[in-house]
Amino acid sequence: MREHSNRGITYNHIYSMLRRIPKGRVATYGQIARLAGIPRQPRQIGYALAALRDHYPVPWHRVVNAKGEISQRSESGVEELQRILLEREGVVFDVRGRISLSRFRWRPKDAGRYPTALLLPPDNALHRGAPARQTYPLRKSRAGITARR
């Protein structure tokens, strides 16, 4: 198993975050990335999950994307297995195959121990119309339109 993922964060550190997700709850890739100390790098969580071996006790099935959906995998049948495992734990899917993050998202009581967990908006904020990044008012100049800071 690969040990390092990014900035000295090991996959084992990511797995320790995943082990904290209780039954019947889910976390998003971005949420785990923030808790692991690598905000804005949810793909690193995906890479860590892809490196998992069957014998490693990590609740991989409790990680979903920012829309509350099960992410597609290259290996067939994994999405169905993930859904079955989550439904056995009481997680409910809507008709579009989504999980209500407002109802089933894991909210760690000690998130304050992980300062980066509080830096960013919830993962699904982008889907509610929040800006993707800081925006600045525009100004016109002879060189064209530039951002005013």
131 or 7, which is more confident: 7
The amino acid sitting at 84 is I
Q: Return the CATH number at 72.
A: 1.10.10.10
Pairwise CA distance, residues 62 & 43, whole Å: 16
pLDDT at 8: 63
Per the structure, how many domains does the chain have? 1
pLDDT in tens, 58-86: 999 999 999 999 999 888 899 999 999 99
- Contact between 48 and 60 under an 8 Å Cβ cutoff? The reply is no
pLDDT in tens, 43-55: 999 999 999 987 7
**In the numeric block, which tokens belong to residue 45?**
């969580």
Q: How many CB atoms lie within 10 A of CB 131?
A: 9
pLDDT in tens, 102-111: 999 999 987 6
Q: Would you call 80 exposed, middle or buried from its count of C-beta atoms within 10 A (0-12, 13-18, 19+)?
A: exposed
Specify the range with the lowest mean pLDDT, choosing from 61-75, 90-104, 112-126. 112-126
Residue 74 domain boundaries: 4-147
